[in-house]
């Protein structure tokens, strides 16, 4: 029986703290363990998964496992551990804000001095920073021979090129390329 590969619903930001970055889907882990276990007894499933009987029982009931147990259970389920973490919010910090944060953390500067330097830095940044220009597509391809390819190949090739383009765009946005 293969586990459901759909992602858990996004968490409600109202019920999570402002410092929360990700939410752990413990309920989904328990549900998938029960589903994977199927007709096996708890003891048999625990032995297969490489965890103790009591640990498997607790995790199926909603207890949070330790990291080693969690990775063993994910391996037994055949799913990535990242599946159980749902991002709540991401905050992008601009280079200007990073510089100002460093100024305020400098023990050699008083709060007033850091504020004055920050003010000058903001004014300079506003005066000199240029508007961001959208990047050209990272990948472009023209397939003249698509009409003579075997059935299904153009679609698979298009999917592959789309995946490559998406990953290249992600790398460019992350500054890794």
List the domain range (segments joined by +) for residue 20.
13-87
Residues 18, 78: one domain?
A: yes
CATH number where 72 lies:
1.10.260.40
How confident is the model over 58-86, as a mean pLDDT? Answer: 90
For 176, list phi and psi in degrees, rounded to 5: -95, -5
Q: Could you tell me which of 35, 38, 117, 25 has the C-alpha nearest to residue 80? A: 25
Residues 48, 80: one domain?
A: yes
Residues 81, 124: one domain?
A: no
Residues 18, 77: one domain?
A: yes
In the chain, the number of structural domains is 3
Model confidence at 14: pLDDT above 60: no
Sign (positive or negative) of CA dihedral 125, 129, 131, 136: negative
As a whole number of angstroms, the distance between CA 137 and CA 166 comes to 10
pLDDT at position 70 = 92
For the segment 106-144, what is each residue's pLDDT rounded down to a tens digit? Answer: 899 898 999 999 999 999 888 888 776 666 655 555 556
Residues 17, 51: one domain?
A: yes
Is pTM beyond 0.85? Reply is no
Residue that is last in its domain, among 87, 103, 118: 87
Secondary structure of residue 1 in the 3-state scheme: coil
């Amino acid at each position: 029986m293969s586990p459901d590969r759909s992602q858990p619903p996004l968490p409600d930001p109202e019920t999570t703290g402002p410092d929360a970055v990700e939410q752990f889907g413990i309920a989904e882990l328990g549900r998938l363990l029960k589903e994977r276990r199927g007709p096996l007894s708890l003891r048999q499933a625990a032995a297969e998964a490489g965890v103790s009987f009591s640990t498997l029982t607790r995790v199926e009931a909603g207890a949070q496992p330790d990291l080693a147990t969690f990775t063993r259970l994910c391996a037994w389920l055949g799913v990535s551990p990242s599946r159980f973490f749902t991002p709540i919010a991401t905050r992008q910090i601009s280079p200007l804000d990073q510089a100002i944060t460093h100024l305020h953390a400098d023990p050699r500067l008083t709060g007033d001095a850091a504020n004055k330097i920050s003010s000058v830095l903001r004014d300079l940044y506003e005066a000199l920073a240029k508007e961001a220009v959208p990047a050209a597509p990272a990948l472009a391809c023209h397939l003249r021979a698509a009409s003579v390819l075997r059935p299904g190949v153009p679609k698979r090739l298009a999917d592959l090129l789309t995946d490559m383009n998406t990953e290249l765009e992600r790398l460019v946005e992350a500054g890794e390329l």
